[in-house]
Structure 1
């Protein structure tokens, strides 16, 4: 039975990579769904009093708890997706080892942008009857920890874009337009850098820049990258292929000359 299972099409290297690629879509969906379930769409108001903030958690206690679990689960699917990107980046000729490793390292750090907010949200909803000021402080910590740590994702995007740009083959692994998209999107997230300065307007944690622009562009990017990742996996030979020199000292143009 185990031999048949190991030899089935569901257990091939290609199949495993497809699972990892689809994980990016699942991560995006679960992350957004967590906010919907917790009744954070639209987000609660930063200018609410401690009593109003605590009231939300008291009325929607179980919804917030389920939402917290979904946000944590979204992190579970994020790592396989990033590992698949890292694996496909290795197929790019003359891509230095440090680029692929930096992308994967940033992904490991970015994982906590899913896990930590989920834990904080679960903690906030764990004792809704506590002192309202404590609930408000934990709520603020949840939103800031969710929206502010965007730099690790920018590092990932830039490494991925770099790998796409230097792929000078006639049939590159990823289209150059995807590199441009991954270079531009992180700047939509940078608006949350000053989230601690405002409780009103577009810069607050419920605002158009800090929440809506960041959240929509981030989740959409995961889906788009996952689709092109699936296409790249499909182009990989069934028996695998030789990995090009991981420590190149010359560009592809230099080698051709």
Structure 2
């Protein structure tokens, strides 16, 4: 592949991050699930919520189903840039890629359960709808801790980069490490219905959401900057083939 085309593909993949962010924010706002349901809500309250938000929830899931495949090129371009730090495919870039490809599954399957509950709420008892929304919230918030390794791999790569023009700045490395730390308490949503570790709590939802919001805005922009630097570094390489990673001391 020609170097110019390869760089265009990388830039397009980085822009996928912004498209996903806007798509997800729009979808959650339409669906009325930008803030999670109260874990103490009773079956009748859940049934009423699903009936009132049926159209929005189904539209939300449709938007996300259309948007979430963009996660794949976005994850791969992140690993391609990490590859420059490692001088080729290594433990960090491969770990990020493998954990990142799980992300669409982590979004889609919980939302599919919520969509099934909202699809025809009148056909199910309130108790069944309560169980389905419990499955959605427990999976959606609890599964977030799976991605700790992904963001830590990115963060550690940023911190060990010794090149003059770093692929990612050090502050972004620390931001990724912090995001991993605040994602970890998601495992505790299975143990409580109230307090800071419930699925709508401070440590399992509010802090992770704030950190993820900042990280998700920063990452595509930093990827675009890194791609620009890679293009400059490899300008003297043959134009008719993909560039070889440049490693600097």
TM-score (norm 1): 0.84
2:98 corresponds in structure 1 to 105
Contact preservation (8 Å) 1:23, 1:77: yes
Matched, 1:68 2:70: no
Q: Distance in 2 between matches of 1:150 and 1:64?
A: 21
1:140 alignment partner, one of 134, 142, 147: 134
2:169 alignment partner, one of 170, 175, 196: 175
Q: What is the number of residues matched between the two proteins? A: 239
Matched, 1:242 2:236: no
Structure 2 SS opposite 1:206? coil
Structure 2 SS opposite 1:185? helix
Structure 2 SS opposite 1:111? helix
- Report matched runs for 1:46-61 at 5 Å: 46-61=39-54
Unaligned runs of 5+ in 1: 1-6, 246-251
Structure 2 SS opposite 1:235? helix
Contact preservation (8 Å) 1:29, 1:219: no
Unaligned runs of 5+ in 2: none
Range that drifts further, 190-199 or 44-53: 190-199
Q: Distance in 1 between matches of 2:67 and 2:211?
A: 16
Q: Distance in 1 between matches of 2:209 and 2:25?
A: 8
2:120 corresponds in structure 1 to 127
Contact preservation (8 Å) 1:110, 1:152: no
The Cα shift of 1:148 comes to 0.9
1:3 corresponds in structure 2 to none
2:178 alignment partner, one of 180, 184, 207: 184
Matched, 1:152 2:146: yes
The Cα shift of 1:203 comes to 2.0
